Structure 1
Amino acid sequence: MSPSRIAVLISGTGRSLENLLRVCAAGELDAEVGLVVADRGKLRGLEIAEAASVPTQVIRPRDCDGPEDFSAQVFDAVEAAACGTVVLAGFLRHLPIPAGWLGRVLNIHPSLLPAHGGKGFWGDHVHRSVLEAGDAVTGCTVHYVDNVFDAGPIILQRRVDVRPDDDVHSLAGRVFDEECIALPEALRQHLAGEVRFVAGRVVRGDG
């Protein structure tokens, strides 16, 4: 049976993409990245995809007639590449999800949602918010994407203790280490049918 084809959407350096390519190549995840879509050009993530011979496409929101047209162009590209699952890996644009794609789009977020999530909470902004709040624990979350920022049902989370001497850089590094475990595992569960999106919630197993 052929590996499941996934599309990865990026807005930056492509570190999560790089990790997914590694675990797929190592046979740790029965999937292949069939397309990388970026919301702007000249990204390191595009270079990573091209080096791995993965097709890429740049779809700029400014070239689209609003969010719905942007979404339509993205999912048209995904379907043309015969990908059945979409992963938002450091993708910073609001992406309206067509009804037929609900339950097939996953996002990785660098906090324990719902804490430190929502519009404007991405990258170092999240870790700075955690430190300013004095949280003792943070982590990462993989969730199904709905049409509200960071609000979709959670597939899994991994925890990271916040150390007294942490700064944004050190905390971000340890959280990313957990992201590298969480995203492939969540994808594995999704592709194996161990988790499903049903009526706005996650259903596990045969539940």
Structure 2
Amino acid sequence: MNLAFLASHGGSAARFLVGACRDRRLDAVPVALISNNSGSAALRWAREAGLQTAHLSTATHPDAEALDRAILDFLREAGADTVVLSGYMRELGPRVLGAYAGRLLNVHPSLLPRHGGRGMYGDRVHAAVLASGEAKTGASVHLVTAGIDGGPVLAQSRVDVRPGDTVETLRSRVQATEGELLLRALQGMAVGAT
């Protein structure tokens, strides 16, 4: 499995998974990272980690079709066969979605389908969970398809919502489960591919 990542900010999931590859917990080779943010910490980290990197965004490709094509070309040139979204804040185009169908994963900080969809990302999700009064939340790894957070869920972690929780405390506990959750989902894909 040759892994590529798309990240907009810190890329914590990418960092975790690259570490898992290097520790041999995941039988995969991390090959590339694309960011739509030229100043992202993920892009700087990936360069230092020896991954192929690219800044591809509406700043580099104002036309959505050209951007979709550029992302796909870069992923193919890097040899990626599996792609993980690591806090990537843009919708992907039909070329990338088609080429990597069934091999394109995202982690979302809720128990999908709850608190997913357009506008539901980051702290907005945790605030919605707290406002709903739910007793449980967690994270979901799902396949990326057209639309937002609508692809099939592969794995979920569960986290208790505690009395007195804030967005920050809830975010911290949910994020602490995301790396291992992605790792398990990718290990399952690797086993299924053999």
TM class, shorter-length:
over 0.9
The corresponding residue for 1:197 is none
| 1:176, distance to aligned residue in structure 2 (A) | 0.7
The alignment partner of 1:146 has SS state of: coil
* CA distance in structure 1 between the partners assigned to 2:90 and 2:187 by the alignment: 25
What is the Cα-based RMSD across aligned positions, in Å? 1.3
| Aligned partner letter, 2:167 | V
The partner residue of 1:37 within 34, 53, 78 is: 34
- The answer on 1:167 being equivalent to 2:177 is no
The corresponding residue for 2:101 is 102
Q: Superposition pairs for residues 110-125 of structure 1, below 5 Å? A: 110-125=109-124
The partner residue of 1:93 within 90, 95, 98 is: 90
Instruction: Report runs of 4+ in structure 1 exceeding 6 Å deviation.
Output: none
> What CA deviation, in whole Å up to 9, does each residue of 1:18-75 have, x standing for no partner?
1111111111001121000000111111122122111110001233243332222111
* CA distance in structure 2 between the partners assigned to 1:112 and 1:70 by the alignment: 31
| Aligned partner letter, 1:72 | R
The corresponding residue for 2:138 is 139
* CA distance in structure 2 between the partners assigned to 1:133 and 1:33 by the alignment: 38
Structure having the higher helix fraction is 2
* CA distance in structure 2 between the partners assigned to 1:109 and 1:72 by the alignment: 25
TM-score by length of 1: 0.88
The corresponding residue for 2:151 is 152
| Aligned partner letter, 1:92 | M
The corresponding residue for 2:186 is 187
The alignment partner of 2:102 has SS state of: coil
Alignment length (residue pairs):
191
The corresponding residue for 2:125 is 126
| Aligned partner letter, 2:37 | R
Quick one: higher RCO (CA 8 Å, sep 6+), 1 or 2?
Answer: 2
- The alignment-based identity, stated in percent, is 37
Is the 8 Å Cα contact of residues 141 and 156 (structure 1) preserved in structure 2?
yes
TM-score by length of 2: 0.94
* CA distance in structure 2 between the partners assigned to 1:66 and 1:136 by the alignment: 44
- Any gaps of 5 or more consecutive residues in structure 2? none
* CA distance in structure 1 between the partners assigned to 2:57 and 2:78 by the alignment: 18
- Any gaps of 5 or more consecutive residues in structure 1? 195-207
Is the 8 Å Cα contact of residues 119 and 149 (structure 1) preserved in structure 2?
yes
The alignment partner of 1:113 has SS state of: coil
The corresponding residue for 1:204 is none
* CA distance in structure 2 between the partners assigned to 1:36 and 1:142 by the alignment: 19
The corresponding residue for 2:7 is 10
| Aligned partner letter, 1:182 | L
| 1:111, distance to aligned residue in structure 2 (A) | 0.5
The corresponding residue for 1:198 is none
| 1:191, distance to aligned residue in structure 2 (A) | 2.2
The corresponding residue for 1:26 is 23
The corresponding residue for 1:66 is 63
